[in-house]
Chains A and B, each alone.
Chain A
């Protein structure tokens, strides 16, 4: 399987924050969820990936070096940013004429189809749109030039569950249309990613803490609930992190089936991606 994105040893230093040797990839035909707290480095990673900011390390997008083939690569990718857009003083019609100049493959028919499908007004200024409408418009623009890769930064943030679901459905359709397409989606709303992502990459304080298949996380990982006495019997190498509560200990384990065979503890819950993220970021290790 080819990789649509390959990030190797990427670093970036800011005063008070640094990306530290980031490594991960986005295989063709998959949706990869980049998760982490606010300020963990998700947006910085995306900016480095798009060569918007300078960084160290190797970044390959669609098989080419982004620093050497920036414009060529960007013809084949669609990007949605949460809080950045062309202008609020444009209409969907005017955006169409602008985008025609940017993309060689701009598909006006497809764009107008999405505008109708998403029920977006043609002659109304974008500043009068709701948050959901603005996001749908950004997505319509991002996918109307037949991109091979979508890079989405917090596309569902601040939206109600119904609109979020509609948007996730768009991404699902987009990936199903062509198996060589791929999506990198950053979000702190982990429940969204649970349903659509194939892989989860967790970033914390500029470091990759976890890079696993979503099914593996949801099926194999487990949260062991036990007493302090039972927790003290668990070997340090058999768990990832723990959280001490008032009445019980919660312990995150990578293989709940193996854990069950080793220890006589029966209460093991299925974790959500959010639980796993919290354990990695806030959990302790003896």
Chain B
């Protein structure tokens, strides 16, 4: 790795961001989802938490004028459930990744900056946690405790910090060796000052990119848990919709609308965060994507003539 982390000003960042089509597309997708989640009661045609009378005709109704996306196994409007489901995914994604990134950031920065025995033990612990497969452990813990929204957020958040810790540590290691840190220390700056003013600002871009990716992982984990039957029973989520549909005969009723819709929501959100993260990385850590085998190698670039001949 030869690229050195550098500071980027807000204005330069915004300029690069606007030009990056992938990042803008991701952000747009997320804003739409966020608006739907926040204004769900206004947008959704029905209240998904209101009790409805079930009749044989009302379950698994095909999409039609009354129910644009049909009804589910309990005769409820799929479109309304779908809109309200965005709330759980976004809540779990954002809060769980916040926990993960704070823990991973703290462990990574202290291991990288202080080094020595502290680093050895912290990294040994990180390696332990890294090797243990996440999802089975999450399933085991949530299955034994109660699957409430808070529990799900805590378990996913507390187990998802390992990759962040390793990334932040290696970044901190390379920043620590830079001249300005040595200079700051030689004029008597304390650890806290160096960490706050010199290390943290350079680690921050990495943390931002990483947290966006961690959010998408958390959303995937949450929906998987719900699909496996470990969802908060008081809240509608996309994974739960799929669990009910799959377990209660949507397959044999060929009710594709109940199976396709919630998954589309998950893909929309995860893809939005993934595109945003990928784009942010390109903006914050630009690299040339030209190389020696590209068709028009720019190995020698001739300066354009200053005064073009008329």
Report whether chain A binds chain B: no
A residues engaging B (CB < 8 A)?
none
